[in-house]
Amino acid sequence: MARRGKNEGSIYKRENGSWRAQVSVDGERLSYSANTRAECNEWLRKTMDLVDKGMTFQSHNLTLKEYLVDWFTTKKNTIKPKTAYDYGRLLTNYIYPPLGKIRLKELTTHRITRFYADMKRDGRGVRTIQIIHNILRSSLQDAVRGGIIGRNPCIGALIPKGKPKEMKVLTADQVTRFLVAAESSRYKALYHLAITTGMRYGELIGLKWSDIDWDKGTIKIQRQLQYIPHRGYEFNDPKTRSGTRTVLLGKTALAKLKEHYYEYAYRDRTGENLIFINGVGTKVYFKRFHKDFKRVLELAGLPDIRFHDLRHTAATLMISNGIPVVVVSKILGHSKPSVTMNIYAHVSTEMQTEAAQLMENLVTPIPILLDSPQILD
């Protein structure tokens, strides 16, 4: 038997010719068998590294569910309430049932890849699988940092790919028809802001009258209103740090807001000075608002689109009409212009075609007829 110093473990050859390594952790023995001494040496080295990082005997035998329950207890206090709710739902419904009983040290990249493939086969959306992958990758990376496992098995796992949701965009003519039809809605000012600023739904219904600077003609987006199941409506920060922004409004948008103020502000029963309220003076409920949105689309004779497509419409119209991407990015609240370019690459491609033709016209030689030929010496 090959002995080592205190707390360094031991390696010995078994009667059947295989090798075995052992190390004591918290007074308990961990063992590993392999065909070669080199493999045992490698296991022993990695195990001792984990012990040095804080691994205990108990954590070494944790199941994935035991670890994630503890991880999520801390994690949910560092993320937004709606995100925490979504994480909890995905953990309970999708991760714990098939993977929860597997011990962390036995969770492999292959097993995770198979888990994603099974979800895709069962009809789960690619976006859902991507979010689940992000949860597992983040949580298991924390396990690596905490010395519980030596490697993140999510690294290298194959994530199913699928077609992104089709982006439907209204043309300038369709926008005009939509806004004309929206004149019959109590939310006509909201629709106008959605199309001219590209604000998200949660940002729009979270606006307060105090966010408007009437003299400067600006509106400040600094919160979003979200409905969280079992908790109700809550104000939260914008989606990203760049989401807090001030947007300059046009004269028509300001006029619509003033008209909206005189018609609805006195009906506010929320006590929170909200710009947009429902028919009984409380916070806008999405299902009822969504019904009104579909009614306006039908009235205008337009194709069925999502409300979020109004944001895509705003961005597309701005970019295609020559507004610099860096400006569009700030208006939309993206973290950086590259994000805007990645989302609206199709618009960029169309504009490149126009730019190429423009440059072609600029540099194409035009024959010049001279009055009389000139002879050069």
Write the burial class of residue 357 (CB in 10 Å: 0-12 exposed, 13-18 middle, 19+ buried).
exposed
The reply to whether domains 64-145 and 172-354 share a CATH topology is no
pLDDT at residue 209, as a whole number: 97
Q: What is the CATH number of domain 172-354?
A: 1.10.443.10
Give whole-number Cα distances, 107 to 85, 100, 136, 150, in Å: 25, 10, 11, 12
- Give the separation between CA 353 and CA 227, rounded to whole angstroms: 43
What are all long-range contacts of 268-274, with beta carbons under 8 Å and residues at least 24 apart? 272/208, 273/208, 273/209, 273/210, 274/205, 274/206, 274/207, 274/208, 274/209
pLDDT per residue over 72-124, tens digit each?
A: 999 999 998 899 999 999 999 999 999 999 988 889 999 999 999 999 999 99
pLDDT at residue 5, as a whole number: 43
Give whole-number Cα distances, 268 to 79, 243, 275, 293, 365, in Å: 31, 26, 9, 21, 66
Place of tokens 């040290």: 105
The pTM of the whole model exceeds 0.85: no
CATH class as words, domain 64-145: mainly alpha
Place of tokens 């690294």: 155
pLDDT at residue 4, as a whole number: 44
The parts of the chain modelled with pLDDT lower than 70 are 1-8, 26, 53-60, 164, 346-377
**Domain definitions of the chain by residue range:** 2-54, 64-145, 172-354
| Strand ranges inside 80-130, DSSP E | none
What 3-state DSSP class applies to 207? coil
